């Protein structure tokens, strides 16, 4: 039980709880300021849990599973909610979901052949971090007017497009790892 209730894992559990909270604040109560705060905290805590796990010597298999799960849920929930409300265009959502679909197929094939998921690549972590940073900035742009809107809109889209590019670059790196594993298995 000591390896479950670590500080980094508790942060990851809190991040997971933040997903439905964000959806409620954004879609139901339309409390956009609080939704921005939840997204910002969820995005920055992504880095904090991993840092603390390494710093405190509390790296665990559960933490290795919770962290990417929280990332994926934040991204998926934010994408769908933002697309429904018109914060993001459909093409952006489709571009991110297509990458996830491709990697899901490779993961299923790897599992069926007795392999685990490929190791997380720093390019993917960087892309995820940038996307999780871009989302609250885009929401801020959507919910404001004037100079704050203009600055948030420009910086939010710069971050979102940069994050999308890194997300796809990481996807190609994962596909290379997948191809290598499958080639070695068939050799």
Q: Would you list the domain boundaries of the chain? A: 7-186
In eight-state DSSP terms, residue 113 is: T
Distances 134 to 27, 107, 110, 111 between C-alpha atoms, Å: 19, 27, 31, 32
Of 20, 63, 5, 44, nearest in space to 133 by CA: 44
Report the pLDDT value the prediction gives residue 2, as an integer from 0 to 100.
55
pTM listed for this prediction: 0.82
Per-run averaged pLDDT (10 residues), the chain, 187 residues:
75 90 94 90 80 81 78 89 94 95 92 86 89 91 94 97 96 94 86
pLDDT tens digits, one per residue of 49-85 = 778 888 888 777 777 777 778 888 888 999 999 999 9
C-alpha 3: how far from chain center: 24
Mean pLDDT of the chain: 89
63 close to 6: Cβ distance less than 8 angstroms:
yes
d(CA 155, CA 52): 29
d(CA 175, CA 152): 34
What count of other Cβ atoms lies within 10 Å of the Cβ of residue 183? 9
Q: Max Cα separation, the chain?
A: 61
Report the pLDDT value the prediction gives residue 23, as an integer from 0 to 100.
95
Q: What's the CATH architecture for 7-186?
A: Up-down Bundle (1.20)
């Amino acid at each position: 039980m000591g390896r479950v209730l670590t500080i980094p894992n508790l942060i990851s559990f809190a991040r997971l709880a933040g997903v439905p909270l964000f959806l409620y604040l954004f879609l139901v109560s339309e409390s956009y300021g609080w939704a921005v705060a939840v997204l910002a905290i969820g995005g920055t805590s992504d880095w904090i849990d991993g840092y603390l796990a390494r710093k405190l010597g509390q790296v665990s298999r559960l933490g290795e599973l919770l962290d990417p799960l929280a990332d994926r849920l934040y991204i998926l929930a934010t994408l769908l909610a933002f697309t429904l409300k018109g914060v993001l265009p459909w093409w952006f959502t489709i571009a991110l979901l297509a990458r996830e679909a491709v990697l899901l197929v490779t993961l299923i094939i790897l599992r069926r052949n007795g392999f685990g998921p490929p190791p997380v690549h720093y390019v993917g972590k960087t892309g995820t971090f940038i996307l999780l940073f871009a989302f609250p900035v885009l929401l801020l742009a959507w919910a404001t007017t004037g100079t704050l809107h203009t600055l948030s809109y420009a910086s939010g889209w710069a971050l979102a497009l940069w994050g999308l590019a890194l997300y796809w670059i990481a996807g190609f790196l994962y596909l290379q790892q997948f191809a290598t594993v499958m080639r070695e298995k068939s050799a």
